[in-house]
Every structure is written in structure tokens, then in C-alpha cells.
Structure 1
């Protein structure tokens, strides 16, 4: 018997998933057999500007996480990372050179030219 996971439900004021990102995320989760899974977004130290995003596909939230349903998909984020991403939008581009998931973060004071890291 597994213990219940203690998490909170958030809303799109924290992170909003745009339609192109939601579509691609749904496809990735289905390919991995995790149709009910989620995208975990974390902010970790690193990159040229001091902070960077780490994204993983997960089965669901862990203790103390915030679960944000947005555009038909779920995003999970830990409380510390939530402080840095509040108000952000997640988009997806299949551009050959600049493609992938992109976070537009209103809290980022400085971003590097590669768009992979930021300072808040």
C-alpha cells in the first residue's frame, strides 16, 4: 500500500501551457505510455545566467508539489521553483535550430542569448 501524495492544485496564473506545447506534450506522454502523466518543470542553478529550467515527464505530483492543469495537460512544479516561474507561459516550436519547449518568464531579469538560462 502506498502513502497518499500531499500536493496542491494551482492554476494558469502560475504556468500556462499554450496549445502547441499542450499538443506536443500530449503526444510525448502517450508515446511513453503515461497518458495521465505530467510535465515537471524545475528551476535549478546553472547556465550562463545563473538559473535554468529542467523539464521531465513524470507519472504525477510528489509531496508538496503544485499540480497545474492547463490546456488539457498537467504540469507539476515544486514550491521553490514556483517562486521563479509565476506567470510564465510554456510554448513549443518545431523550428530546426531554435525548436523545443520554450518558457516565457516575466520574472526573468536577464536571459542568455541561447534562451536556456535566466536570472531573476
Structure 2
């Protein structure tokens, strides 16, 4: 498992930050769908014990926090905030290692897959 080297630039007091590149990809995913936003979750599993899960979602569920970035709604259950506070979500079109990138200052380790982390 590799150590996390990059640190995000998240506005003071913000839970997360989503770059324009990540929001643009989310907009592309949502364009032909009845979904109105993206759900950000943390689930058990993966090589390092926890993993990020982002999925299109029709709406927020009761208790969700709704965060707006670049015109896209992101739905977050408050229970995952301790795992993601200060995280930046980016997107890369690179041929190798492309896709959504999670730069999380809370992660003490991560896996080569880029979606699994430990705290």
C-alpha cells in the first residue's frame, strides 16, 4: 500500500471540494439520465479496508447533506464526513490511471486501485 503524498486544496470549513474536471465528468454521466446528482459514500471493503463509492442518484435521502459544485449536486450521508472531510475529488482523462481521483488527507494508506483507503 502506498502512502498518500498529495494534499487537496479545500476551502476552509468545507467538507469536500470537487474540481471542475470532476464536475464536468459528473455532468456527462448525468446528461441522459433522470438522476439529479451524485451520491458520495464510503463502504467497507477494498484492498485497504474502506473504499469510495460514487453513483448517480435521483435525489437526496432523508438526512443527506447536499453539496453543490459547478452546478452539480453531491449527496453525502453525514456519517461518512469523518472519513472524507477535506477530501478533493478530481478527474483525469489519462489513458493510464485515468478516472476519478480521491485526494483524502484522512487516509493513512491507499491501494493502487485509487478507490480503496485506510484510516
Q: Same fold (TM over 0.5)?
A: yes
Deviation beyond 4 Å, 4+ runs, structure 1: none
> Where does structure 2 lack aligned partners over 5 or more consecutive residues?
1-11
Show the counterpart of 1:49.
48
- Structure 1 position 31 matched with structure 2 position 15: no
TM-score for both structures, normalised by structure 1: 0.83
Aligned residues: 108
Aligned-residue CA RMSD (Å): 1.6
- Structure 1 position 105 matched with structure 2 position 113: no
TM-score for both structures, normalised by structure 2: 0.83
* Alpha-carbon distance, 1:12 to partner: 7.4
Show the counterpart of 2:92.
93
Show the counterpart of 1:16.
17
> Where does structure 1 lack aligned partners over 5 or more consecutive residues?
1-10
